[in-house]
Amino acid sequence: MAFRTVQVEQALAHLRSADPVLEDVIDRVGPFTLRAKRDRFAMLVRSILSQQISTKAAESIRNRLLTRLKPEPLKPGSLANLTDEDLRAVGLSGQKVRYLRDLIDHVQSGQIELATIGRRDDTEIIAALTQVKGIGEWTAQMFLIFSLGRMDVLPHADLGIRTALKNLYALDDLPNRADAERLAMPWRPYATIASWYCWRSLELTSPADSTE
C-alpha cells in the first residue's frame, strides 16, 4: 500500500491543527515525498545488512551482493542458493549470514507470507517479523513505514526521532518511550507522517543559522 494523496492531505491538515510545533516543521520542510518501496523481501534484507554499520558500508555490501546474484534478482530462492562462504565474501558477518538464513527459512516455509502480510494489522505484522533472528521492533516498524506505507507508526526508539523530539520540544534529554508517546498523542492517527517530518527536521538549519 502506497501513501495516497488524499490520506496525506488529511494527515497534514490534522497535524497542522493539532501541533503548532509540527506545523512550523511542515512549513519549513515542504511537501511530503516519501514513497513506499514495493520489494518487501529486499527491504528486510537491506535492514539486516544495515545493522550496526554505516549507510555507506551497508550500501557497498548490498551492491556486492546484487552483483554476486546476477543475473538472478534478490529473492529468497536466489539468496538461498548462495553458500555461507559466498555471503561472507561480499562482506557479511557470520551473524548476519545466520540472520539472512533465518529470514529465508521463514519466507520459504510460509511462516511469513510477504505477498499478503499487508492484510494484517500493525501489531500482528510486528509479531510475525520479530520471530526472525535479527529483526526487532524497530526493523519491523521501518517495514511498516517504508514497505507498507502504514499511516500511524511511531518508531519511538529511533535515534533520529528521539533527537528531533528533544530539539523540537526543548527537552533536557532524549525522550524515553513514554515521553515520545505522550508528545505524539496529538499526531494520531498519522504518526508516520509526523515521524517523517521529524526526520526531515534534522536537516533544517535554525532561523538563527540562516541569518548568519
- Active site (catalytic) residues: 158
209, HSE (Cβ side, Cα atoms, 13 Å): 4
Which residue carries 523481501 as its cell?
A: 41
Residue type, 154: L
Q: Nearest-CA neighbor of 207 among 16, 27, 18, 20?
A: 27
Helix, coil or strand: residue 39: coil
Whole-number Å distance between alpha carbons of 99 and 111: 15
Q: Which segments of 147-187 does DSSP mark as H helices, in order?
A: 159-168, 177-184
Give Dmax (Cα) for the chain: 59
